Amino acid sequence: MRKSYDVVIVGGGSMGIAAAYYVARSGHSVAVLDRDTIPNETGSHHGQTRMMRFGYSEGESYVPLVKHAYALWRELEQESNRSLYVQTGALLMGSVGSDFLNEVLHSSTTHSLPHEVLSASDIEERWPEIKLPVTFNGVLDTLAGFLLSEECVQAYKELALELGVDIFEQDAVLNVNSVAEGVEVVTEQHSFHAGKVIMTAGAWTHKLLPEVEMPIQPIRKTIAWFEPKEENAFDSSTFPCVVFNTSFGLYYAFPDYEGAGFKIGRHDGGQLVEPAQLNRTFGAYEEDEPELRQLLDVHVPGAAGELKRGAVCIYDQSPDEDFIIDWHPSDQRIILAGGFSGHGFKFASVIGKILSEMALDQPLIHSIDSFKLSRFK
């Protein structure tokens, strides 16, 4: 028997489950379909924490989005009665005069964000655990911190369920087809009819909509938690989130939160993969641990203790590393969102709101012109 909804959402990760909440809050019927559980460890939202930065190295055009996202995360905390955000500040470091730091400064000054510019010696005096060459400086984004990523997804899920959203977990979508009276979505276990479909399937989107030229590359990425050599030296109550733009890679790291360890990942690099064939075992590639330790050994040696655990996630990366948010080129009843390129989670709240507005034909709170597919033609 075919199930009918105003909106069906394919993919219940951070963007999809947020969109479900905002659509349902507008009084419409919603179903969320996911090949796994919600939350899960097979997409891009797991790993305990996700950084939230305001002075944005990826471009100052993102700052209004991140400000709105922050307001919606705070609203979600109130609605769900959960603590979801930990403000630690974020220290972004790189060579003096580098494009990376120049863009952070441009974003911060253009949008009047509170920030401090620090020399290498300033940084080492304040945080002796960080070791930098004299050619480096940093920008401290004082509003920044981290979101508890699985907690955020769980909060949206619980609120969506309270609003009557139907969630179908561990039921992989097989086909998404335009039909005369709407959109048909077929899964391994069910058949659905929708007035609108929101596609937030991450790296699986191009498999489900092969007719759409979605230039998304799935990339295998690793993260790891290390035991600090000195107890409490990297505690989240005193140590900020950090980003290092080095000659050997762009790295991000989190302070030790609730004893989990010092978390580190590398933003660039990684291995091109097919999602269904992704090797999710940390250490399966020879470089998994050594490339993370390289940053620790050079810049944060006090955090380079024993490996506590490692994890694998997947980026759905666009060619320019900017998001893809658009309507299907031949059927505007299907809405596309992907290519979040490893820096999308912090925006999930506001993007979920935008996707709900697209599905409900409402005015958009932010323009999506710079995220449309047409920019690749």
pLDDT tens string 215-264: 999 999 999 999 999 889 999 999 999 999 999 999 999 999 999 999 99
- The chain-wide mean pLDDT, for the chain, equals 96
Q: Is 188 helix (H, G, I), strand (E, B) or coil?
A: coil
Taking a C-beta distance cutoff of 8 angstroms, is the pair 42, 316 a contact? Answer: no
Helix (H) or strand (E) holding 230: none
Does residue 267 have an active-site annotation? yes
Q: Among the options 46, 53, 220, 299, which is catalytic?
A: 46
Catalytic residue among 28, 45, 49, 206: 49
Which one of the listed residues 45, 152, 313, 353 is annotated catalytic? 313
Helix (H) / strand (E) element for 45: namely none
How far, in Å, are 6, 192, 332, 349, 358 from residue 196 at the CA level?
A: 6, 11, 8, 20, 9
- Exactly one of 50, 53, 68, 220 is catalytic; name it: 50
Q: What is the pLDDT of residue 127?
A: 98
Confidence of residue 207 (pLDDT cuts 50, 70, 90): confident
Who wins on pLDDT, 324 or 275?
324
135 catalytic? Reply is no
Res. 40 pLDDT band, cuts 50 70 90: confident
Catalytic site includes residue 328: no
**What does 205-218 look like in DSSP terms, one character per residue?**
HHHH-TTS----EE
What's the pLDDT score for residue 43?
66
Structure tokens at 33: 């379909």
Whether residue 241 lies in the annotated active site: no
Catalytic residue among 157, 267, 299, 353: 267
pLDDT at position 42 over 90: no
Instruction: Write down the domain spans for the chain.
Output: 2-45+150-214+320-376, 88-142+217-317
- 86-95, 201-210, 259-268, 359-368: the lowest-pLDDT one: 201-210
Annotated catalytic, 266?
no
Q: What is the pLDDT of residue 20?
A: 98
Which pLDDT band, with edges at 50, 70 and 90, does 360 fall under? very high
* The CATH number fitting domain 88-142+217-317, selected from 3.40.50.10440, 1.10.3720.10, 3.40.50.1820, 3.30.9.10: 3.30.9.10
Q: What is the pLDDT of residue 206?
A: 83
Residue 332, phi-psi category: left (phi > 0), alpha (psi -120 to 50), beta (remainder): alpha
The answer to whether residue 45 scores a pLDDT higher than 70 is no
Task: Pull the structure tokens for residue 274.
Answer: 């097919």
| Per-residue pLDDT reduced to its tens digit, 288-305 | 999 999 999 999 999 999
Please identify, in words, the CATH class of the domain defined by 2-45+150-214+320-376: alpha beta
Q: How far is the CA of 98 from the CAs of 143, 251, 322, in angstroms?
A: 23, 15, 20
Angle of helix 63-80 relative to helix 348-359, nearest 10 degrees? Answer: 90
Catalytic member of 263, 266, 343, 353:
263
> What band does 157 get if pLDDT is binned at 50, 70 and 90?
very high
How would you class 152 by CB atoms within 10 Å of its CB: exposed for 0-12, middle for 13-18, buried for 19 or more?
buried
The whole-number pLDDT of residue 226 equals: 98
